[in-house]
Structures are given as structure tokens and as C-alpha cells.
Structure 1
């Protein structure tokens, strides 16, 4: 598909203004606390993958997510439960203790990867708010429509082209409906609530999802915690909702308490309404992911969690060596037995990355090979109040118990890629981006919907969309080929 990318590069200045403007208008934006919005940049250069590869990564994610859920349940049911529970905030812990036994069905999860040598390496599993289904669809749909019209692709055929590319919003909708049917003897919900806080950072994405749900046939609304009530039902302004999709961090409820919602979140899969994406902090905690890697070296751990051969093979094929970061003996990344894990990591900074076990936004992620750089120094000072070299940081992190302490992971060496970033004013900026790939999956459903993925780009190796960077449209090879043919026909 290099020919397609080359054409886009030559024509980017013509498509960039409409691409940026329309993506922002549709909701590719971050909402500030005061309600104003900041555009999330989109690239004029997409990620192009075969549909079969997108499906393969979704299937891989389904196995990894299922294995992580099983492992979290095994840990919470065993002697090491405090390792996970101790990482959580008070309300997160309360909800986890109330719901973990019943939280076997997660309508949506997301596994984040770096791709090296064409092979995806899983960095973590997202299960609390595995968002960006809307962002990914906005980017892909806007790209296909803007490029298609500029390339004079037949207008009446654009809808078929969009359908061919797939939709994460549609996959999410089908996952929610399938989960609801499983809980309500085959019935479908009459009403759907998308629950989030006011001026949520991703409120524009949620409004996009709500609009798509309505297009799919649902009576859907975005609702907020302060609006909800009901003695035996989930009610907002007199309207009863059958199904609730939660986009609400539990820690946000601690900032602005809502006893009714807190109680609602503590019952899975819900009595007042069906609730299929419960807070699953114990699944997303990185210490759980570290034990997923550890299970390869400790068959007893895999057996206690009930991991299948297929799940273990998925871990073996895609999870880089990851361990809970503590002093003492461990199995190293080459299978060797080491006397002290902290000493091993401190001696070889280029090989490792430290991550706080329970944190958001990549704030406490430290790349050993970035030691001495401004970003490294700023992160360390923000975490510990002073600059620290790598050995000193390792010692401090190993003794730090906040958020469940740290995990260490072998670095996935992914090179930056050259892309064309569309600024909100339509300017095209050549940019060197580190690009990740996130694939969605469901856990506990009878079948997987047709999940796709989302790609983010950042000038930092620590990729986080709210903190900067942009979204790259994910386009299938078949769609790209049809667009290229249209261009050649002009």
C-alpha cells in the first residue's frame, strides 16, 4: 500500500483542512473541565492493514483479556488478594470486593500493543473504561469520506466502503445487546443509558456513540450521575433505562460522591438495570498483567487461574516479559534465575520500563533508556520531588507501595514512523510518531462481535491521547485499494 500512502502525501494539503475540521466537528476532541474542547489531531496518513490481520489481533486480544480476567479472579480468591486490592482507591476496593465474583462478563475490553517487526506485543489490558471506539470510527469514517470524495469515489458507494471498513461503535452495540440478551432470556433492551460525568474529557466521543446507537435502533441517551434515581429501576427525568453503559471512572465518583450510583455499580450484572461493563480495576491493575507473563514460567499459577492452552499460547506469543517489581529472586527475561530483580533492572536501563501498577495516563511510566532526558527528569520530579538517576529510581520504585507499587517490563523496541499531522487550521505537519495499536475484545459473551482497533500516535514513546498526539485512521487494505483505484481513474 505504499503507492496509496505516496498519493496521500502528495495530496495531503488538499484534504487536510476538511479532514481536520470534519473530524473535530464530529467529536474527535478532548473536553476541558470548563466545557471547552480541544481538537485531537488526525493524520492524513492512515494505518493500512489486511482485514484478516485486524481480526487476528482482535482474536488475540480476546484470549488475553479472558486470561487476565481469570487470573484476577484467581488472585482475589487466594492468599495474595491484598496485592491487587491494596492498589485500589477506597471506593474501587469496595466495589471490587462486592463484584469480582460476578464480573465474569465484560462487554468491552481493550489491549494496547506496540508493533515491532510486524508483530504486536501487548503492553497492558484496559478494562475500566476501554474507550476510543467512537474516536476510532470518527477518524476512519472521516478519512474515507473526505479522501473518497476528493478521489471522486462514487458518492452512492461510500456507505458500502464504510461498512467494508468496519465499525467499533457497532461492535460495542452488538456486544451490549448480546450481553443483555444473555441476562434477560433473549430479550433486547428498549432503552440504553450512556452514563458519564458532566464535561467528561471524552463527552464528544460519547455523544457520537449515542448518535450511532440511535441509528442502530436504540432509544439511547447520555446521562449523568446527579440525574439518576429510582427505588427499583434506573430512572432519569422520569425515563426508565433497561441497559446502562458506564463511562465513569470510580475515582471521579470519589471526587463528587453519588451514593445512588455507587450502590448501583456494586451490583453486577445489575438489578435496577443490566450493567455489562462494571468497574474492573482488579483486571486492569498492571500487577495482574505481570502475573500473566509470570504464568508462563509458573505452571501452577496458570493452572490455578484455569488458563486454557490457547490463552497461554496467546500470552507466549504476544506478552513481553513483565514482573511485579520487588527485591528478591525472580525469573529473568531470558528464563534465567536471578538473585535480585531490582539489581538486574538497575544494571541495564536500556532494556526495561517501570510502570506504576495502578495509575492513569502514563504519568508514572519511566523508560530506562530515556534517563537524562527532559521528559524523564520531569516525570521523576513529578513523582518523587527530585531528579533521580536510573539506579536511584529503581530503588525508590521498589520501595514505593502507592498504587500497588510498580511492575517492570522488557521494552518493546518500536521505531517511530513518519506521518502527516493535520492541524485544526488545516496545516499539514510532517511528524515522527510512535504509533500504538489497540484491539478491542469482549469477555464472557457467546460470540465475539466484529471488533476492530484504533491507532494513536505520539512524539513520546509513552502514548496517551489525552496528553497529546493524534489519532491515525485505521483502514483495511481492501478499502485503501478501492480508493487508490478511484484516484487512478481520474
Structure 2
């Protein structure tokens, strides 16, 4: 696909203004608390993958997600359940204790990867709000339409090209319908609510999803916690909703309590309405992910979680060595016996990354090889109020129990890539980006919908879309080939 990328680079200044403008208009943006929006940049250079590889990564994510759900359940019914429950906020804990046994069907999960040498290495599993289905579709759709028109691809055939590339919004919709049918004896919902905060940071993405759900045939609306009531149904503005898609962090409810919604989230899959993405914090906590890695060395963990051979093979093939970060002996990344884990990590900073077990947005993530740099110093200063060497940080994080403490993970060496970033004013900025790949999946459905992925780029190795960077359109090689043929014919 290098010829396609070369063509895009040569024409980027012509397509960038429309790419930036239309993507922003469609909702590729972050919303601030005051309701104003800030564009999320899009790149003029996409990530191009064979459709078969996109499917393979989603299938891998399905096995990893299923294994993580099982591992969380095994820990919660075991003797050390407190180590996992203690990582959660008060309301998260209450909801986890009420629902974990029933939270076996998750309509959507997202596994975040770094790709090294062609191999996707899973960094974490997202199960609370696995967002960006809308962002990914906005980026891909805008790219295909803008580039297609500029490359003189037949206008009447653009819709077929979009269908060929796939849609995460459509996959999410089908997952929700399949889950609803499983809970309601094959029936379909008449109404769908997308539950979210007012001025949520991703409200523009949710509006996009709501519009797509309506296009797919659903009577769908955005609904906010203060609008919901009902003694035996989920009702907002006098309208009863059968199915609820939750885009609402439990911690936000602790900031602005809503007793009705808190009670609603405490019953899975719901009595007043069906909701299929329960606040499964126990699944997303990195302590659970660390146990997946540990299960490769300790068969008893795999047996307790009843992991299948396929699930264990997925862990073996894609999960980097990860452990709970605490003093004492363990098995090291190369299978060697380590007398003290903290001492090993302190002595070899270039090999490891420390992550708070339960936190959002990459705020408490520390790369050993960045020790001494300005970004490292700033992160440590924000987290602990004073600069620290790597050895001092290791000692501090090993003793820090907030959010379940820390996990340590072997670094995945994914080198930066050169991309063309479309700035909000339409200019093109050559940028060196660290690029991650996130693949969606479902757990507990009879079949997986046609999930795809989303790619984010950041100048920092700690990639988080709200904190900066941009979205890279994910395009199948077949779509790229068709666009290139149109360009060469023109």
C-alpha cells in the first residue's frame, strides 16, 4: 500500500481542509465541561490493513475479553476478593458486589494494543466504557468520502465502499440487539436510550451513534441521569425505553449522585430495561489483566478461572509479561526466578512500565526508559508532589495502595510512525506518532458481530485521545486499492 500512501502524501494539502472540517462537524471532538468543543485531529495518512487481519485482531480480543471476565469472577469468588474490590471506588464496589455474578454478557469490550514487528501486544482490556466506535467510524467515513471524491471515485459507488470498510457503530447496534433478543426470548426492542452525562467529553460521538442507530431503524435518544424515572420502567420525558446503552462512568455518579440510576445499574441485565454494558470495573482493573499473564506460569489460576485452551493461547500470544507490583519473589519476563520484583524493576528501568491498577486516562503510567525526561518528571510531580528517580518511584509505587496499587508490565517496543496530521485550520503537519490499535469484541453473545478497530496517534508513548493526539482512519487494503485505482485512472 506504499503507492497509496505516497499518493496521499503528495495530495495531502488539498484534502486536509475538508478532512479536518467535516470530521469535526460530524463529531470528532472533545467536549469541555462548559459545552464548548475542541477538534480531535484526523490524519491524512491512514492505517491500512487486510480485512482478514482486522477480523483476526477482533477474534483475539474476543478471547482475551472472555478470559478477563472469567478471571475477574474467579478472583471475586476466591479468598483474595478484597484485593480486587479494594481497588474500586465506593459506588463501584457496591455495584460490583451486586452484579458480578450476572455480568457475563458484555455487548462491547475494547482491547488496546501496541503492534511490534507485526504482532499486536495487548496492553489492557476496556470493559467499563469501551468508547470510540463513533470516532472510528467518523474518521474512516470522512476519509473515504473526502479522498474518494478528490480521487474521482464514482459518487454513486461511495456507499458501497463505506460498507466494504465496515462500521463499528453497526457492530455495536447488532451486539445490543442480539443481547436484547437473548434476554427477551428473541424479541427486539422498540426504543433505545443512550445514557450519558450532559456535556460528556464524548457527547459529540454519542450524538453520532444515536443518529446511526436511528438510520439502522431504532427509535433512539440521548438520555441524561436527571431525566430518568419510573417505578417499573426506564422512563424519560414520558417515553419508556426497552434497551439502555450506558456511556456513564460510575465515578461521575459519585460526583453528581442519581439514586434512581445507581439503583438501575445494580440489576443486571436489568428489570426496568435491558442494559448490556454493566459497569464491570472488576474486569477492567489491571490487577485482573496481570492475573491473565500470571496464569501462564501458574496453571492453578487458569484452572480456577476455567480458561479454555483458545483463551490461554490468546494470552500467550498477545499479553506481555504483567504482574502486580509488590516486593517479593516471582517469575520474571524470561521465566527466570526473581527474588524481589521491585528490585528487578528498579535496576532495569528501560524494560518496564508501571501502571496504577485502577485509573483512567493514563494519568498514573510511568515509563522507566523516560526517567529523567521532562514528561516523566511532570507526571511524577503531579502524582506525588515531588520529583523522584526511577528507583525512588519504584519504592513509592510499591507501597501505594490507592486504586489497587500498581502493576508492572514489560514494555512493548512500538516505534513511532510518520504521519500527516490535519490541523483544525486545514494545514498539514508532518508528525511522528506513537500509534496504538484498539480492537472491539463482545462477550457472551451467540455470535460476534463484524467488529473492527480504531487507531490513535500521540507524540507520547502514553496514548490517550482526550489528552491529545489524533485519530488515524482505519482502512481495509481492498478499499485502499479501489481508491488508488481511481486516482491512477484520473
Question: In the alignment, which residue of structure 2 is the partner of 1:369?
Answer: 369
Q: Which residue matches 1:137? A: 137
Matched residue, 2:18: 18
User: How far did residue 364 of structure 1 move?
Assistant: 0.2
CA distance in 1, matches of 2:263, 2:10: 56
Q: 4+ residue runs of structure 1 moved beyond 6 angstroms?
A: none
User: 1:389 maps to which residue?
Assistant: 389
Q: Secondary structure at the match of 1:102?
A: coil
Q: How does 1:331-410 map to 2 (within 5 A)?
A: 331-410=331-410
- Structure 1 residue 111, shift from structure 2 partner: 0.1
SS at match of 1:279: coil
Alignment of 1:42-441 (within 5 A): 42-441=42-441
What's the secondary structure of 1:426's corresponding residue?
A: coil
State the secondary structure of the residue aligned to 1:62: helix
TM superposition shift of 1:478? 0.1
Superposition deviation, residue 161 in structure 1: 0.1
Please give the alpha-carbon distance, in whole angstroms, between the structure 2 residues aligned to 1:84 and 1:273: 29
Aligned residues between the structures:
490
Gaps of 5+ in 2: none
Name the SS for the 2:235 alignment partner: strand
Q: Within 2, Cα distance between the matches of 1:237 and 1:477?
A: 46
Aligned-pair distance for 1:273? Answer: 0.1
1:28 aligns with 2:53: no
What do residues 363-422 of structure 1 show as CA deviations (whole Å, max 9, x unaligned)? 000000000000000000111110000000000000000000000000000000000000
Instruction: Measure the CA separation in 1 of the matches of 2:182 and 2:284.
Output: 24
Q: Tell me how far apart the structure 2 counterparts of residues 338 and 420 of structure 1 sit (CA, whole Å).
A: 44
CA deviation after TM superposition for structure 1 residue 298, in Å: 0.3
Counterparts of 1:42 and 1:170, CA distance in 2: 21
> Hey, what's the Cα distance between the residues in 1 that align with 2:329 and 2:72?
23
RMSD: 0.3
Task: Please state whether the residue corresponding to 1:87 is helix, strand or coil.
Answer: coil
**2 CA distance for matches of 1:204 and 1:58?**
25
Instruction: Name the SS for the 1:360 alignment partner.
Output: coil
Instruction: Please report how far the alpha carbon of residue 323 of structure 1 lies from its aligned counterpart in structure 2 after TM superposition.
Output: 0.1
- Residue by residue over 1:3-44, the C-alpha shift from the partner in whole angstroms, topping out at 9 and shown as x without a partner, is 000000000000000000000000000000000000000000
CA-CA distance at 1:464 after TM superposition: 0.1
C-alpha distance in 2, partners of 1:270/1:31? 30
Q: What are the ranges of 5 or more consecutive residues in structure 1 without an aligned counterpart?
A: none
Query: What is the TM-score of this pair, normalised by structure 2?
Result: 1.00
SS at match of 1:113: strand
Within-5 A mapping of 1:426-465:
426-465=426-465
CA positional deviation for 1:232: 0.1
1:285-325 Cα shifts (integer Å, max 9, x gaps): 00000000000000000000000000000000000000000
- The TM-score normalised by the length of structure 1 is 1.00
1:46 and 1:229 mapped to 2: Cα distance? Answer: 44
User: Does structure 1 residue 475 correspond to structure 2 residue 475?
Assistant: yes
Deviation at 1:283, TM superposition (A): 0.2
